[in-house]
Amino acid sequence: MRVTAVHEPSTTAGSEDAARFDDAGASDDATPRQLHDATPRHHHDAASRHHHDATPRQHHDAASRGTTTDAVIADLAARQHGVVARWQMLELGIGAGEIARRRRGSRLHPVRPGWRGVYLVGHAVAPELALETAALLLTRRRASALARWSAAAVHGFADPPAGVDLLQVGGNAPVVDGVRTSVVTELPGWQVARHRGLWVTTPARTFLDLSAVARVGDVERCLDRARIAGVVTDVQIEAVLAWAGARRGARPLRDLLRNERDGGYARSRAERRLRTLLTEAGLPTPVRNGMVLGRERDLAWPAARTVVEFDGRRYHATPQQWERDRDRDGELLARGWRTFRVTWTMLCHRPHEVVARAAAVLALAERDGAWASGDPVHVSRVDDAS
C-alpha cells in the first residue's frame, strides 16, 4: 500500500504556539486546537493547508511523490518518541485492516497493557518519554500537557513518576490505567511550553500543581533543584500565584515562599536543605550537630577542620548574638578551624553559590593540608585534642 497527499497530525507542531490552550479554554463544548494536531483548526481543513511541522516541505514533497505506509508510520514515530496513535494512522489514510496486519506482524506493539490505540513502532521496549507521548496522544482532540510530577521530571528537577500526570482543558478525562488526568477549565498559554518535543506545564506552573498534591518537604527539594539548574525564578512563581488566586496549591506555595523570605525556618530544615545540595553536587556530607572544641556546631567537616553555621534573622540578628558568633569564629580560627556561614536566603535564592563556596572551602582545606585522617561522614564528635 502507498499513501499520498499526507497531511498528518503530529506532536511536533513546530510553529504553533501555546495560544491553542487559551483557545481551548473558551468552551468545554468546543473542539480546541489540540496538542497533537498540526493543522490550525479541524482536520477537515487539512487538505487546504500545509501542516506546521519542523520539516514540512520535506515531508510534503515526499508524500506527494508517494510514500510507503511503513515509511510514513516510521517518519511519524521518529518525531514522537517512537509512538503513533491509531487515530493518527486513520487520518493519514491507513486503513483499519493495514493497522491490524501490522499489529499481528509485530510491527506495532502496545505501549502498555490496557492502553488501547497507541503503539510503539518496530520495538516492544518503550524508549524515554514514550509513555508520556502516548498519554498525550490518548487525549486526542483536547488541549493537554504533562503536569505535576511528569512535568517536574521532564524539566529535570524530579525523578519520573510511576505513570503519567496530565492537565487537560475541558472534556472528559480518558480512563486509562497509569494516567492521572486532571481536567481544568483553563490553562493559559504562558503556563505551558514545548520541551523535548512535548507540551508541558512551565516550571512555575508545575510548582503550583505540585503544591496541591505533594508534601511541603518534597516541593522544597524540587524547588532547590530547579533553582540550582536555573529553570525557574521566584518572579515566575509569583506571576503564577498572582493568576492563581485561591486555586488549589496557591496557599501552601505562598506560605513556602513567605517562610523563605522571612527567615522563619527550623535549623533542621536548613540542615536538610544544605545536606541535599551538597550530596547532589558530589561533595562530602557534613556531620550534624557534632561537638567541636567543646561546642555543638550546626554541621561540620571534621576531616577538613571546617564547621558550618547557619545565620537566621531570628537568632543571629541581635548585637549580642553577632558578637558571640564572631567570638566563636575567632576561637575556631585560632585552633586551625574554618567557619563557613550560610543564610536561609542564600540557600533558597542562591544555592549554586553556596555549593560553589563549599567546594572552594573544602579545596582550600585540602591544599593547606588541613584534611585529617578518617571518614568525615562517620565522625560525630571532635574534642579539644583533635
Residues 271 and 347 in one domain: yes
Q: Is residue 129 part of a domain?
A: yes
- Residues 241-259 have pLDDT tens digits of 999 999 999 999 998 888 7
In a domain, 141, yes or no: yes
Q: Are residues 154 and 291 in the same domain?
A: no
The more confidently predicted of residues 284 and 90 is 90
Does 48 share its domain with 187? yes
Pick the last residue of a domain from 201, 235, 259: 201
Do 85 and 160 belong to one domain? yes
User: Cell 463544548 maps to which residue?
Assistant: 29
Q: pLDDT grade, residue 121 (50/70/90)?
A: very high
Q: Which of 153, 175, 201 represents a domain boundary (last residue)?
A: 201
User: Considering the chain, what is the average pLDDT of its residues?
Assistant: 77
Task: Give the model's pLDDT for residue 237.
Answer: 96
Q: Residues 176, 320: one domain?
A: no
283 with 191, same domain: the answer is: no
Does a structural domain hold residue 33?
Answer: yes
Domain membership flag for residue 233 = no
Range 105-117 average pLDDT: 93
- 152 shares a domain with 11: yes
Judge if 271 and 196 occupy the same domain.
no
In a domain, 298, yes or no: yes
- Are residues 193 and 271 both part of a single domain? no
Q: How confident is the model at residue 2 (pLDDT cuts 50, 70, 90)?
A: very low
**76: confidence class by pLDDT, cuts 50, 70, 90:** very high
Domain identity same for 276 and 365: yes
Can you give the CATH number for the domain in which 365 is found? 3.40.960.10
Per-residue pLDDT band for 134 (boundaries 50, 70, 90) equals: very high
- Asked if residue 223 belongs to a domain, the reply is no
How far apart (Å, rounded) are the C-alpha atoms in residues 107 and 121?
6
Q: What is the pTM of this model?
A: 0.62
Q: How many structural domains are present in the chain? A: 2
Quickly state the pLDDT bin for 351 (edges 50, 70, 90): confident
Residues of the domain holding 354: 267-382
pLDDT at 386 over 60: no
**Same-domain status, 132 and 280:** no
Residue 211 covered by a domain: no
| 174 and 45 part of one domain | yes
Percent of the chain past pLDDT 90, that is, above it, reads 40
In a domain, 300, yes or no: yes
**Could you say which of 201, 230, 246 is where a domain stops?**
201
